[in-house]
Amino acid sequence: MSNARAIHLSRRGMLAAGGALGLGAVLAACGDEDAKSGGSDADASKAAAAPAGPWTFKDDRGTTAKADKVPSSIVAFIGVAAALHDYGVEVKGVFGPTTTKDGKADVQAGDLDVTKVTVLGNEWGQFNIEKYAALAPDLLVTTMFDSAGTLWYVPEESKEKILAVGAPTVGISVFDIQLDQPLQRMLELAKTLGADTASAKVTAAKKAFEDAAARLRAATKAKPNIKVLVGSASQDIFYVSGSNLSVDLEYFKALGVNFVEPSADALKASGGWYENLSWENVDKYKADVIMMDNRTSAIQPGDITEATWKQLPAVKAGQVIARNPEPILSYDKCVPLLTSLAEAIENAKKVS
């Protein structure tokens, strides 16, 4: 998509749609309470003990963010905040889907304690500039879902006022690349912010990620004919994603996953992300496994009442799994994405 408005043209579409935006168990190798909290006291102290000298980081726009000292009043998109938290780097403020209607942490918050951060906006277009300025931010970090370097969830209409506050910005690209690349970039950013990226916890998480990738590759090699459809549900539309552009799907495809692919013409209207189907035509594509958007912006499989959905062979076989089109970019959080898909393919019956 060429800009934020185009990207958002349906958050429950492009992002929500599976292929739209590039997405289990907690990492066993880090299965202690420190892993659940996203960082040990030692990790936190090392982050706090980050060098006090000049700080720089060249982001994926090619822009070098600079500060006189390592940033300590960080504001980030919720998924980025969750990833940094896993590395022991804490933020002061967040924006993007942080809490659900019942006040619980959104799936994109990961292990972040959302009661301990200032929420600047919980929905698309929301960003409280007054609260942002009050935090005296020295860094703003988010992802980017296009080649133009649009900062995700930073409203275009108020972007200039937000930038005028003066904090340097960092954008991590999650557009048309494979998942392992932004994972590495987030790790590099965390290191500059004081994270101990050589810790036992991080090392174990990276090893678990590599092992999970190997498991998925083996599963697809053993069952190359298992077709996987990536979808997202809204009230009137069922979105079927293509496997290009999204970081998770491009990576899974490289590991051998046999995705259902809408035609280029069908994807054209969304810039290559997804195809819109009416619920009457939800059976257009044959699939053995269906990955469904698990974010709160999408209707969840258990809540879909459409008879056409219930009659899909993969649905009747119970071969539907969750997918987060906006993966939390820490190795710990990406392990379950690989593991759940590998397990689904290993156990899948050919029903298409």
Average pLDDT per 10 consecutive residues for the chain, totaling 352 residues: 37 40 30 37 44 88 97 98 98 97 95 98 97 98 97 97 98 98 98 98 98 98 98 97 97 98 94 96 97 96 97 98 97 98 98 96
- 335, 23 Cβ separation under 8 angstroms: no
The pTM is what?
Answer: 0.86
Torsion of CA 278, 235, 239, 60, to 10 degrees: 150
328 vs 107: CA distance, rounded Å:
10
- Burial letters for 1-24: b for 16+ Cβ neighbours within 10 Å, e otherwise? beebebbbebbbbbbbbbbbbbbb
pLDDT of residue 28: 29
- Give residue-wise pLDDT tens across range 137-149: 999 999 999 999 9
pLDDT of residue 144: 98
- Give residue-wise pLDDT tens across range 176-203: 999 999 999 999 999 999 999 999 999 9
Q: What is the DSSP letter of 279?
A: G
Please spell the DSSP secondary structure of 183-244, one letter per residue: HHHHHHHHHHTT--TTSHHHHHHHHHHHHHHHHHHHHHHH-TT-EEEEEEE-SS-EEEE-SS
